[in-house]
Structure 1
């Protein structure tokens, strides 16, 4: 486990209803925010995802479709593509072909590697989606000292994933996507001119 990271990396998991949640979230993320975002969603294996193009409409940060292994840099958004899974090691995203299992566990797989690589600089966010993918990964991030934020199920089109985290983990915040983004900025970009976090 690498415990010497200087920047936060944020993993975002979403499934059904996730596009609206992601759009709202990134509308509230400023361009100068010095952290990297990795978006992991449930995708069809055989249909090319255009999520990166859709997010570019709302995001102030550059958006990248992750087609090969890539070193991540703060101030960028990296997006999982179809029929793949992502892990992170030594701040590099590793692309693998998605496993053959029926249930999609891409969020757990990425979150668990994020916990291992970033420890207390790892942040996991669960947005709208059905099922419970992300729960085990969220537990790993919490155990490593990182933060977990969850979309308020009342604002989610699919409440399974948010409710799973709320029921079995101890998220640091449960809010609408835009409010989660604002809270993230408050936590990770303290008002230095005042000498303390807002």
Structure 2
């Protein structure tokens, strides 16, 4: 029987690239979790975030251009002009809506909460606005964990600050410490399953 693993959604916008690099540099390649990176992208500019992250970690990184099954030990990256949801353990790609304000993090986090419940973790890094707040509240209500970058290390504080002000995140840490906390959670999860 396949072990149950954490599925980690990471939302960021302005200033988030530095935080993402720091976070993924700290993770071991054997970590038993799957990561889905949701960033605010220009609709018509090809994103190379997958290449940037691949230079920071030996964990496989893939652009999600088509529906794909979520497997532990992988990083999946949102592509331009799309949104991602989860259904039956698969990442589902859809065209991004026409709204001016980007709500891709909320859309994904809400889906993550419904699908994975207590095995869902949402992390909000640097970014402007409050995308992610609605999804984070849904994650917490569904038994998942919400973690945020602390405001002292975030280049742009809107997204993490909105979570801190309206939710009760389990951890408020710098990106390296967020990664270390996640490693600890994964070790605890593995130990539970082996007893």
* TM-score normalised by the chain length of structure 1: 0.93
> Which whole-Å CA distance do the structure 1 matches of 2:189 and 2:116 have between them?
24
5+ residue gaps in structure 1?
A: none
> Which whole-Å CA distance do the structure 2 matches of 1:29 and 1:175 have between them?
15
> Which whole-Å CA distance do the structure 2 matches of 1:147 and 1:130 have between them?
22
Deviation at 1:188, TM superposition (A): 1.8
Give a deviation string over 1:27-68, Cα, whole Å, max 9, x none.
Answer: 111111011000000000000000000000112210000000
Indicate the residue corresponding to 2:66 in structure 1.
68
Deviation at 1:153, TM superposition (A): 0.9
Q: For 2:50, which of 44, 49, 52 is the aligned residue? A: 52
Q: Is 1:101 aligned to 2:91, yes or no?
A: no
Deviation at 1:183, TM superposition (A): 0.7
Give a deviation string over 1:122-174, Cα, whole Å, max 9, x none.
Answer: 00000000000000000011001111100001101100000000000000000
SS at match of 1:96: strand
Computed over aligned residues only, the root mean square deviation of the Cα atoms, in angstroms, reads 1.4
Check 1:69–1:154 CA distance in 2 against 1; reply closer, same or farther (3 A cut): same
> Which whole-Å CA distance do the structure 1 matches of 2:34 and 2:25 have between them?
15
SS at match of 1:157: coil
Q: For 1:148, which of 146, 149, 173 is the aligned residue? A: 146
Deviation at 1:190, TM superposition (A): 2.8
SS at match of 2:179: helix
* TM-score normalised by the chain length of structure 2: 0.95
Give the 4+ runs in structure 1 shifted more than 3 A: none
Indicate the residue corresponding to 1:8 in structure 2.
6
SS at match of 1:109: helix
Indicate the residue corresponding to 1:86 in structure 2.
84
Indicate the residue corresponding to 1:136 in structure 2.
134
Q: How does 1:29-40 map to 2 (within 5 A)?
A: 29-40=27-38
5+ residue gaps in structure 2?
A: none
> Which whole-Å CA distance do the structure 1 matches of 2:170 and 2:82 have between them?
29
